[in-house]
Amino acid sequence: MKLLWAPWRIEYITGEKEHGCIFCRKPGEGNDKKNLILYNGQTGFIIMNRYPYASGHLMAVPYRHTNNLSDLGEEERLELMSLTIKCTEILKALSPDGFNIGMNLGKTGGAGIDDHLHFHVVPRWSGDNNFMPVIADVRVMPEYLEDTYETLRRQLNTLER
């Protein structure tokens, strides 16, 4: 049997669980770097997943607290899609070969945070961990979150020039 160490997961497993909606709370805290927020738009924002499926796992999130796509107005829907596209542009800094993009609606649909909808944008590489999370409940993280955050911020700054 092979062992893959992921000591950063212990924080998630044993740490104090946050109460309330992180997607509502984090943008208003004024500490984007600590909260891994890469970009703030008019009706939504881009945040890194603190417990990612792969390095660079981003989420595009509307500010409005809802789990129903129909609740979003046209401007919010348009920006949510624009933020999802911006995620793929930011992630080009990591040179992925492709992306998984999706939304899990409802707990049964696989949503970890089921009361505030959001898109996941996960970079993928040929020969990466493939089905490790599915068949072995293992994720392979080649870089610290803070380092990935800095790389993606530099890419975002390049895009915004």
Which residue spans within 20-63 are E strands per DSSP?
37-40, 44-48, 58-62
Is residue 118 part of the annotated active site? The answer reads yes
Exposure class string for 122-154: b at 16+ Cβ within 10 A, else e = bbbeeeebeeeeeeeeebebeeebeebbebbbe
Type of residue found at 123: P
Catalytic residue chosen out of the listed positions 19, 65, 116, 118: 118
Sign of CA dihedral 68, 73, 78, 80: negative
Catalytic (active-site) positions: 118
